[in-house]
A = this chain, B = another copy of it.
Amino acid sequence: MSSTPALAELYAEVQLFYARQMQGLDSGKLEAYADTFTEDAEFSHTPGREPARTRAGILADLEDFHKRFEDDPLRRRHWFNMIDIDPQPDGTIISVCYALVVKIRPGKAPEIAASCVVHDVLTRAGGELLNKSRRVEYDPAL
């Protein structure tokens, strides 16, 4: 496996990318989150909701979606783990990982609000990873 050192390096890079991306989202930095997508990205995060397209479209969609949390003293934490990456010949990286959405409200125990599988296509621009697409699949999908 001559590709192992490069794959190990990429693996850590993807983990770090997810940590920063989702810590930012959980801090309510919607614009910074939108900036982790390519200009022409597609983002499908909720079943039955039309995917958002382009970075501007993703930001608009997020701002609309997050209105539901405005009067809710809710902290959300997105946990990504069990990441499987598969580098493609064209330089993109297919990444499939598990996600838990943990919700915390004052005076209550944290609850796992959702279990998901995240299907990403990542790409590199200026040395940095970006999401070319993201599709979030909710359990149960049986």
Contact = CB atoms under 8 A, between A and B. Distances in A.
A114 B12 CA distance: 27
A91 to B, nearest CB: 15
This chain's copy number in the assembly? 3
A125 to B, nearest CB: 12
A102 interface: yes
**Looking at chain A's contact residues, is the secondary structure mostly helix, strand, loop, or mixed?**
mixed
Interface string A4-23: 11011111110110111011
Interface string A76-88: 0111111111000
- Looking at chain A, what size class is its interface with the partner chain? 35 or more
Interface stretch (A29-37, A44-52, A104-112): A104-112
A93 to B, nearest CB: 12
20 contacts: A1-B127, A1-B128, A7-B12, A7-B16, A8-B8, A8-B10, A8-B11, A11-B15, A12-B12, A16-B83, A23-B82, A74-B142, A77-B82, A77-B98, A80-B82, A100-B110, A102-B112, A105-B140, A110-B113, A110-B115
Can you list the 4 inter-chain pairs with the closest CB atoms, starting with the nearest? A8-B12, A11-B12, A104-B139, A8-B9
